[in-house]
Amino acid sequence: MGEKIRKEAGGLVVPDEPVIPFIQGDGTGPDIWRAAVRVFDAAVEKAYGGRRKVAWLEVFAGERAYREKGTWLPDETLEAFKEYLVGIKGPLTTPVGGGFRSLNVTLRQMLDLYVCLRPVKYYPGIPSPVRHPELVDMVVFRENTEDVYAGFELPSGDERTKRLIEFCRREFGWQIREDSGIGVKPISPTGTKRLVRAAIRYALDHGRRSVTLVHKGNIMKYTEGAFRAWGYEVAKEEFGDRVVTWEDVPDGVVPEGKVLVKDAIADAFLQQILTRPAEFDVIATMNLNGDYVSDALAAQVGGIGIAPGANINYDTGHAIFEATHGTAPKYAGKDMVNPSSVILSGKMMFEYLGWHEAAALIEKGLTGAIASRKVTYDFARLMEGAEQVSTSEFGNQIVAHM
Ligand SMILES: NC(=O)C1=CN([C@@H]2O[C@H](COP(=O)(O)OP(=O)(O)OC[C@H]3O[C@@H](n4cnc5c(N)ncnc54)[C@H](OP(=O)(O)O)[C@@H]3O)[C@@H](O)[C@H]2O)C=CC1
Ligand SMILES: O=C(O)CCC(=O)C(=O)O
Ligand SMILES: [Mg+2]
């Protein structure tokens, strides 16, 4: 049952019973999925009274796929995300220091999901380590297909590493310590411009005040410095009449209706999001910076238990929604972690599909559940007078407050 979502010139065409592939994920993934899917189905039922419904299609990746199918990322999983256009996934384990390349990254690259979109905002009542978490309202556009994630690494002592070190010394005069491991990262104008274009469009469409390009271009001049230059190029050449830069407004006053495009060096940015969060709005940055920034910002509004995200290609319409957090393996099977990140990723998915009523009910349910102070361990340990509940009970609370 169910029909495919399609992309046409005018946008997505979403049937009343769309097939949506999902991966439960490794570690705590299944605990979270059980709670999340009940919330999604309840929101859709309540919003549309049976007129609309999701035809969920389970596909496999990660540890379960390896156990049951002998491969970490079966071809049919990739095919399902290609064919059905929009999907959702739980976290997948990536080994540290060796083993296979990240399956999460592979999915993003194979489907060319070039924007990793991670909105960060505060929900009243959530415990936070900062004094004014309500000032944090940012939307991170993380480039999702290049940087070190599409990079090349060679280990210390390897024969190929020695040859590369010798080549660099001979051809470029680079003195590299003999026992080094080597990493190379690509950053292109193609990857940069489509990311920054999407970020500026988002800012204009959503009434946002600024887009900040975050980079370490003082040190990495031809990758991160070039990201900054290409970003400003897009702003000026494609949005010249709708954006300004600091150069255009020496008095610092941004004209009404225009978006300010500015930039910040990553280290200063990481301290300013703590000291002056209200000055930042939409953030456009490269893959690795975006990875760091999204966890850091999540911490400011209560942690990665409540940090949703999406991987999107705005040209083909392909999208996979997923939390910012990973598998949190020490809690696997304990029905304990916070399902909010995946639930809010689902809310983003419904918005993407144009099912705004279902999305609004999820938001309402979550806000109500937090206000009732029956919350998962991560919030309960920092909230005075809160009652700690399980993942599944927190899901029930969300449904009850819709
Ligand atoms: N997109 C993806 O699929 C991602 C996958 N990963 C992978 O996940 C694995 C584990 O990574 P790790 O670095 O430990 O990061 P995780 O995000 O999995 O966990 C780190 C810590 O964050 C907190 N946390 C995570 N999820 C939740 C949640 N749902 N509710 C409440 N708290 C949560 C826990 O904190 P505390 O200990 O304080 O309770 C946990 O110990 C790795 O293999 C990594 O590669 C990582 C990120 C994204
Ligand atoms: O792929 C992974 O294991 C980590 C990915 C990650 O940290 C992220 O996307 O934020
Ligand atoms: Mg991360």
**Cα(291) to centroid of ligand 2, in Å?**
7
Measured between alpha carbons, how far is residue 116 from residues 140, 173, 226, 258, 358 in Å?
8, 37, 20, 24, 23
Give the per-residue pLDDT at 29. Answer: 98
Give the per-residue pLDDT at 1. Answer: 84
Give the per-residue pLDDT at 126. Answer: 93
Q: Is the CB of 29 inside a 6 Å radius of any atom of ligand 1?
A: no
Rounded Cα distance between 223 and 243, Å, is: 24
Low-confidence stretches of the chain (pLDDT beneath 70): none
Q: Which atom of ligand 1 is nearest to the CA of 342?
A: 29
Q: Is the CB of 272 inside a 6 Å radius of any atom of ligand 2?
A: no
Q: Tens digits of per-residue pLDDT, 302-331? A: 999 999 999 999 999 999 999 999 999 999
- Please give the helix or strand (H or E) that residue 113 lies within, else none: none
Residues forming beta bridges with residue 243, ordered by sequence position: 259
Rounded Cα distance between 31 and 396, Å, is: 13
pTM beyond cutoff 0.90? yes
Rounded Cα distance between 138 and 307, Å, is: 12
Q: Whose CA is nearest to atom 48 of ligand 1?
A: 326
Give the per-residue pLDDT at 216. Answer: 98
With 0-12 / 13-18 / 19 or more C-beta atoms within 10 angstroms meaning exposed / middle / buried, residue 171 is exposed
Q: Which domains are seen in the chain, by residue range?
A: 1-125+304-401 (3.40.718.10), 128-143+189-301 (3.40.718.10), 148-184 (no CATH)
Give the per-residue pLDDT at 252. Answer: 86
Count other Cβ atoms within 10 Å, centred on residue 192.
26
Give the per-residue pLDDT at 352. Answer: 98
**Cα(266) to centroid of ligand 2, in Å?**
19
Structure ipTM over 0.85, yes or no:
yes
Count other Cβ atoms within 10 Å, centred on residue 182.
16
Give the per-residue pLDDT at 233. Answer: 98
Whether 31 is catalytic is no
Could you say which DSSP state residue 156 is in? T
102 is annotated as contributing to ligand binding: yes
Count other Cβ atoms within 10 Å, centred on residue 400.
13
Give the per-residue pLDDT at 97. Answer: 85
Closest CA to 321 of 355, 280, 289: 355
